Amino acid sequence: MKPALALAALVVATAAHAGRPCEEKQPTVRQIEQGLNLAQATARQLDASGAQVVILARAGQDLSKYGLQWSHLGFVYKDPQAGVWRVAHKLNQCGTDHAALYRQGLGEFFLDRPHRYDAAFVVLKPELQQALLQVLPQNAFIARFNERRYSMVAYAFGTTYQQSNQWVLETLAGSAAPGINNRRDAQAWLKAQGYQPTDLHLSTMTRLGGRLTKANIAFDDHPSARRFSGHIDTVTVDSMFAWLPRANLSEPPQLVKP
């Protein structure tokens, strides 16, 4: 039996999905094996990169109909004491209207039954890595830019809600520039640096259906003129991966396949 498969057999009965405590369907042994294989491939590639902090993306959902490749990302940093990779990211609580911050290992990060078993990451510029490495292990810092109220399509430049990728982007801004102490400051800096959110084109019926049936979807934070014309400006992995190299904050994205 392969090492990954042996480990999968041990954890299949107890594998937990952080951020999704009401999930009842357990992953299969095959799904856990695939997740662990991807985690191992990612760790090897991160080690080879020489980086200490990267932003790592997974394809948790199929967003191809919106022209998007990735759905979720988090900070990955090398734990200076344990010498292993840790993931800091934000997860929605089982489709509710709130979310929380988590630290996980790479294995846990990929055990959430993703749509595709591949990943991508960007290596941040050295000075930004060093700034983040000082604060990512600190609960108080990463919570500074966290808003518990969650919407999957939160307005990129609003503070009523916050989605997972938005937390990463605003936390990055807080380390990239001095004097940023809140979400408004972070968003102002992002605008000044040329960050452009993804413009999702959603019909009135799609917006109405999502709002009525999903607690984790809200549109009332978006500017009325944009919203009523079907334009929803939100933070996506793809928009961040396009902007970070353009803003000279990272290297181009690198693909990981097990």
**pLDDT tens by residue, 228-255:** 888 899 999 999 999 999 999 999 999 9
Q: From CA 118, how far away is CA 160, in angstroms rounded?
A: 33
Q: From CA 64, how far away is CA 86, in angstroms rounded?
A: 28
pLDDT for res 23: 57
Rg (CA), the chain: 18
pLDDT for res 251: 98
Local confidence band at 83 (pLDDT 50, 70, 90 cut-offs): confident
Q: What is the dihedral of CA 69, 72, 75, 77, to 10 degrees?
A: -80
**pLDDT tens by residue, 186-223:** 999 999 999 999 998 765 445 444 444 578 889 899 99
Q: From CA 232, how far away is CA 29, in angstroms rounded?
A: 38
pLDDT for res 21: 46
Q: What is the dihedral of CA 153, 157, 160, 164, to 10 degrees?
A: 50
**pLDDT tens by residue, 139-188:** 988 999 999 999 999 999 999 999 999 999 999 999 999 899 999 999 99
12 CA to centre of own chain: 24
pLDDT for res 50: 96
Question: How many CB atoms are closer than 10 A to CB 54?
Answer: 27
Local confidence band at 12 (pLDDT 50, 70, 90 cut-offs): very low
Percentage of the chain exceeding pLDDT 90: 66
* Residue 13 reports pLDDT greater than 50: no
CATH 3.20.20.60 fits 3-256, yes or no: no
